[in-house]
Amino acid sequence: MVWIKVVSAAASAVAPPVERMANSRWFSFPMGRTPRGTRAEYERLFASVRAERYPEVEAYEAARGFAIDTAWLDELALHTQVTIKSSALCYAHGRLLYATVRDYVRRQNPGKVTVLETGTARGFSSLCMARALDDAGVAGTVITFDVLPHDVPMYWNCIDDLDGPRSRAELLRPWADMVERYVVYHQGDTLRELPKVYLPRVNVAFLDGQHTYEHVTREFEAVRGRQRPGDVIFFDDYTPGTFPGVVQAVDEICARHGYDRETLGAGDDRGYVVARKR
């Protein structure tokens, strides 16, 4: 775990100037220079989404016998998932990811688990999966990729913006102990960065980067050679009509590459696929 962090930090420090220039827009307030809403607006949105119920998610948790601590999840979601946007809010994927990782550990009984995530955003999903490793009492690492840097202050379109710009590291300070024990943050586009990171095994992958056919397909290609029978890929936003590229890519992957699948929904406009390698 420590050596991965050291190597990642060192690689960032010596990144070629051209690469730094290509990434420069992600270091200068990419989501705006002012808060997008008031504290009352964020709190109202939080109260609304927290009250939602998702029968398929509840059935998935019940079938696997694992459910994340609700109070812990809600507090994390308030700071990392409640945003002002046109589409409906939903953080049920955190519940599904937690149950998936816990179920994987029980089924496979690994000595160590490597989780790979694309699309860190504010860090919600990576921490849900870290919590699963912690509750399962298994050693592991969640390595997560995003174009957004981890240690640069910015506005994140969340309730914490009302206290001024802060880095993701600062945003996640209440969960710093779990971050330190389990999570490695890697900045950069996954299509360029995934081939640079040596991971001999990816037990569980959560693919939630750019929602295009090309990105999903190429991220899968970077993962599939590192998986063995029983290993899992969780695909986010499998939503026909909204993300047709994701749907096409996931359908092809499962049909052609030996992955059994389970399709799940949370509300009318959020879909997911949990794929297990045969």
pLDDT in tens, the chain (278 residues): 544 444 444 444 545 565 556 677 888 888 899 999 999 999 999 999 999 999 999 999 999 999 999 999 999 999 999 999 998 999 999 999 999 999 999 999 999 999 999 999 999 999 999 999 999 999 999 999 999 999 999 999 999 999 999 999 999 999 999 999 999 999 999 989 998 899 999 999 999 988 899 999 999 999 999 999 999 999 999 999 899 999 999 999 999 999 999 999 998 889 999 999 99
pTM (two decimals): 0.91
CATH topology of domain 2-277: Rossmann fold (3.40.50)
Q: Is 231 helix (H, G, I), strand (E, B) or coil?
A: coil
pLDDT of amino acid 252:
98
Q: Which candidate, 143, 99, 130, 105, places its Cα nearest to that of 234?
A: 99
Tell me which long-range contacts 68-75 makes (C-beta under 8 A, separation of at least 24).
68/94, 68/95, 68/98, 68/99, 68/128, 68/131, 68/132, 69/131, 72/131, 73/98, 73/128, 74/46, 74/50, 75/174
pLDDT of amino acid 152:
96
What one-letter code names the amino acid at 154? M
Beta-sheet strand order (sheet of 259-265)? 183-187, 139-146, 112-118, 204-207, 232-235, 271-277, 259-265
Q: Where are the domains of the chain?
A: 2-277
Q: Is 227 helix (H, G, I), strand (E, B) or coil?
A: coil
pLDDT of amino acid 11:
46
The DSSP 8-state label assigned to residue 160 in this structure reads G
pLDDT of amino acid 15:
53
What would the two tokens of residue 126 be?
């990576």
Burial of 156 (0-12, 13-18, 19+ CB in 10 A): buried
Tell me the C-alpha distance between 243 and 209, whole Å.
Answer: 12
> With the CA atoms of 116, 90, 266 and 133 taken in that order, what torsion angle do they form, in degrees rounded to the nearest 10?
30
Tell me the C-alpha distance between 28 and 61, whole Å.
Answer: 40
